[in-house]
Structure 1
Amino acid sequence: MADIEAETLARHLSERSPSGLAEQVRELISAGTLSGGMRLPTVRDLATEIGVSVGTIAQAWSLLRESNLVETRRRGGTRIVEPGDVGGPNFRSWSGVDLLHCSPDPRLLPSLEEAMVRSLKQPQLHSWSREHILPELQRAVEKKLGQQAESTQTRSFAAISSATEGLWLATKSVTSGGDLIAVEEPASPGYLSVPKSLGLRTIGVPVDEHGPVPEALQRALDAGAVAFVHSPGGAFSPRHLLSAERTQELARVLESSPETVIIEEDPLGPLAEVDPFAHSLDVLLPERTLRVIGFERAYGMDLRTAVMSGPKQLINRAIAERSGGVSSNSRILQNTLAFLLRDPSAGRRLNSARTRYANRRRMALEALAEVGLTAHAGPASWAIWVQVPDERTAALTLSAQGVITDVGSSSHMTEQPTGLLRISCAQLPEDKELLDGLAQLILRATEDGLNSTFV
């Protein structure tokens, strides 16, 4: 007999698609309604109870197995995996965990199947036109902007292939070789390669708990910065979310430099724990602000669709840098994203994932603190910054153990070592024993290090 009867479980399930059912079971696991070791009803019993096919339940269970949330034993039926099992027996080595790129956990991504199938049936498929963005996607994005909706009436939108491309286009379109740009420090992973490739100079604008420091931004503007790049949601920050008061202060500073363009990035998109544009310079200075909204971490890299928004003249300049202005994004992918943004099942999956990512950050910070390491992460950050005596030696030592991290100097304007390691927390196992072990590895790397002298 199952530990939870089909009739009881069915009362919690309102979805009828495999992905929807799987997501609702995930929510029940996260809420503790279904606990580790509990045996689920048979596929046939549950299918009969909620009025779907046996195949539908089987597919839902398959999705849960892919996420390591359930396991099916030959004689023991399907059971909820014990929490420790996700990291324990299934864990091979740290070399299989992305601690470098801040990429999402593939197991937490919503399924693209239903959205993709619906997209293939849209009437405008293969139309020989090159609109910057489909109306369906623009409406879905405008709705997600929530309280910012009023300002979207005067804005233009464009679909692009990724947030990385969006930042490159935005930066390229508002600068010329040799220009100086101000960049929030630490910068987002990999961003500093963009100005370098464009022959631009950079000046760092450090942050505190409230956002970029106004006095530092003023110094950058006085030095001639033609653009200011920052992330209001602090997606990879060691300490901040942009506050309402700081937004006002930054706007007052920027008013003294009316030609400076503002580039705001939102790399987490719907996964952000708080609205990254709740406090945004775009609200106060919309006529010169470009937004770049990424969806790769929410829905997966292969969706290949991000969105730029801004005043028409800035969007047109950015698009002109993209294949001479004639390039456009696949309608299949745009319609898929529009469906996902509206789909309640995908929304619940993101809610669950958001909670899991926040839990991983919290558990990792606790493990690092327990061994005496000083580590920081912003309240909605996917990056943990660990203080070390020598970042190069620590990173090299950890790499020999299969632990690949970034060093802080790769995200700062100065070439001098910062004494920081940046660790992505998105793929960390929710397993205290494993996280304690990782903390010990980092501690030993700060104490010993590799001996690089000749034998």
Structure 2
Amino acid sequence: MTISIFDREDIAGRPGPRYRAIADRLRDTIRSGAVPPGTRLPPLRDLACELGVTVGTVSRAYALAASRGEVAGEVGRGTYVLGQGLHAHGGTGVGSAAFLTMPEATVAAMKAALAPPAGQTEIVGAAMTALLAERQALGVPSPFNTYLAPGGEERHRRAAAQWLSYGDFVLQPGDVLVCSGTQQAILTSILAATEPGDLILTEELTYHAMVQQAGLMGRRVAPVDIDAEGMVPDALERAIREQHPAALFIVPTLQNPTGATMSETRRRQIAELAARHDMSIIEDDIYGALAGERPLPIAQFAPERTWYATSLAKTVGCGLRIGFLKPPPRLLERARAIQNGFGQTVPPLMAELGSRLIETGDAAALCARIRTEMASRHKMTADALGSYRLTADSAALYVWLELPDTWRAHGFVEAARARGVAIAAGEDFMVGRTDRAARHVRLAIGQPQTREELARGLAVIASLLSESHIGIVEPA
């Protein structure tokens, strides 16, 4: 069924940009129960004509509703109401619903920041076979028949400390907790370092799942300006003085989505500001091992207040749900208690497998392969899109693309989707000012399973960049 639920007078009377007014009217109508799940919304051009706005405005409205988890689009079928979505449950909905409801890409998937295939199936498969055989030969209980203590056993933490240590940043097994991925490490850090109602500062473009986690736990999140090197210390100091945050969340190496890496000088400045204002730091270093010249982490300069989190997901393989957290020493047992209280013990098989890959050197070998593969993929991307403004680091799993004046991010994402390519809009990463990245998209060039798939996706992107959104034919 296709119905019109958009009251032109109501939309005209709402403050702010037209696309947001349309999306808010849709949200209010869904919440009232007047529009049941499964309702098909008007096509873009029909609604644009009805409301006297551009197709791009309606496209942005639908994209905003999708980011809130309220609607979903399907190529060839249109846009349908899902329900009240994530937003109704207290989350921000930034980016996540668009990821969850995106139909399978038919040409190229370039939306999720995943490491490319680099022999993981063969290497990890062989490691698992050897692991299970050895345990059986030794009469050791199977990892399928046991639980682990919160934070992992000594041998798991020893391997974690080995993986995390580099340069002057040297850890011991007693410094580290093993987690079920970086997201669990970040959530543990939020719960341990802040209280409900506290404010967490972060880069104005950041990892949207952290924003959701903070919101679900009753914390507030506010943005800090960034530049080509990441978070700007002067802007951070101003935000601290004006807003009195409890913590800072930051990704200083291969920052997501821009790929920026912060200098050691700036890391020291961030650490000094946190110490001066007694603020906790949650440092997400999930991409750090991929960096060619890897600066020391902020945790090196402020160990007494930094929660350092990472995992094997981006640097070895996303299927390895194993992460690591170095809390401030005095709060390590608090972090362990939070893991235990949430029932978030590490799956024994993942702990054993991750430890084995680190101990044998297979994890480091896979990371090196991924780094080499990404350098080749960045060259392909530069060759295909070099005439446009790309922000990229050859080790990052993505590039940050500035669109021509004829495009806005959500319209471009929808046009790419109609041609079988899944990418992410810049607004999906914004904290607060969602119009700031309205002309940027992130291309996750590590996600395609082959270079041929990447080449097909880049060809579609290059073709769209040369067109005006006015000329794009929307799906029926």
8 Å Cα contact 2:310/2:324 also seen in 1: yes
Q: Which amino acid aligns with 1:350?
A: C
- For each residue in 1:348-377, what CA deviation from the matched residue of structure 2 results, as whole angstroms up to 9, or x when unmatched? 34322211112212321331123xx22212
8 Å Cα contact 1:358/1:380 also seen in 2: yes
1:421 match: secondary structure = strand
1:326 CA displacement: 5.6
Alignment pair present for 1:399 and 2:417:
yes
Alignment pair present for 1:168 and 2:187:
yes
Q: Which amino acid aligns with 1:104?
A: A
Aligned length: 357
Name the counterpart of 1:101.
112
Name the counterpart of 1:182.
201
8 Å Cα contact 2:205/2:430 also seen in 1: yes
Change (3 A) 1:108 1:376: farther
Name the counterpart of 1:385.
400
Alignment pair present for 1:282 and 2:299:
yes
8 Å Cα contact 2:160/2:178 also seen in 1: no
1:218 CA displacement: 0.8
Q: Which amino acid aligns with 2:456?
A: L
Q: Which amino acid aligns with 1:336?
A: L
8 Å Cα contact 2:204/2:223 also seen in 1: yes
TM-score (norm 1): 0.70
Q: Which stretch has the larger CA shift, 195-204 or 403-412?
A: 195-204
TM-score (norm 2): 0.67
**Distance across 1 between alignment mates of 2:344 and 2:391:** 41
2:386 match: secondary structure = helix
1:127 CA displacement: 6.1
Map residues 275-314 of structure 1 onto 2, 5 A cutoff. 276=294, 278-314=295-331
Name the counterpart of 2:160.
141
Change (3 A) 1:124 1:452: closer
Change (3 A) 1:386 1:105: same
Alignment pair present for 1:207 and 2:226:
yes
**Distance across 1 between alignment mates of 2:147 and 2:417:** 50
Change (3 A) 1:445 1:338: farther
**Distance across 2 between alignment mates of 1:283 and 1:346:** 23
Q: Which amino acid aligns with 1:132?
A: G
1:295 CA displacement: 0.8
Alignment pair present for 1:320 and 2:337:
yes
Change (3 A) 1:130 1:146: closer
1:424 CA displacement: 0.5
**Distance across 2 between alignment mates of 1:101 and 1:355:** 19
8 Å Cα contact 1:210/1:242 also seen in 2: yes
8 Å Cα contact 1:142/1:152 also seen in 2: yes
1:386 match: secondary structure = strand
Q: Which amino acid aligns with 2:420?
A: G
Change (3 A) 1:124 1:230: farther
1:416 CA displacement: 2.8
Alignment pair present for 1:442 and 2:461:
no
Name the counterpart of 1:16.
none
**Distance across 1 between alignment mates of 2:347 and 2:422:** 35
1:154 CA displacement: 9.2
8 Å Cα contact 2:179/2:323 also seen in 1: yes
Q: Which amino acid aligns with 2:395?
A: A
> Which of 163, 166, 171 in structure 2 is aligned with 1:152?
171
Change (3 A) 1:378 1:426: same
Q: Which amino acid aligns with 2:465?
A: L
Name the counterpart of 2:19.
none
**Distance across 2 between alignment mates of 1:106 and 1:145:** 23
Change (3 A) 1:262 1:436: closer
Q: Which stretch has the larger CA shift, 208-217 or 313-322?
A: 313-322
Name the counterpart of 1:45.
none
8 Å Cα contact 2:418/2:474 also seen in 1: no
Alignment pair present for 1:227 and 2:247:
yes
Q: Which amino acid aligns with 2:268?
A: Q
Q: Which amino acid aligns with 2:322?
A: T
8 Å Cα contact 1:237/1:377 also seen in 2: no
Name the counterpart of 1:246.
266
1:308 CA displacement: 0.9
1:226 CA displacement: 0.9
**Distance across 2 between alignment mates of 1:450 and 1:424:** 23
**Distance across 2 between alignment mates of 1:433 and 1:156:** 44
1:318 match: secondary structure = helix
**Distance across 2 between alignment mates of 1:100 and 1:410:** 11
**Distance across 1 between alignment mates of 2:273 and 2:146:** 46
CA RMSD in angstroms comes to: 3.0
> Which of 432, 449, 473 in structure 2 is aligned with 1:414?
432
Q: Which runs of 5+ in 2 are unaligned?
A: 1-103
Change (3 A) 1:400 1:409: same
**Distance across 1 between alignment mates of 2:395 and 2:226:** 15
1:190 CA displacement: 3.3
Q: Could you tell me the percent identity over the aligned residues?
A: 20
Change (3 A) 1:134 1:124: farther
2:385 match: secondary structure = helix
1:321 match: secondary structure = helix
- For each residue in 1:91-142, what CA deviation from the matched residue of structure 2 results, as whole angstroms up to 9, or x when unmatched? xx95353311112234542522232234334436556762522222222222
2:267 match: secondary structure = helix
1:257 CA displacement: 0.9
1:215 CA displacement: 0.9
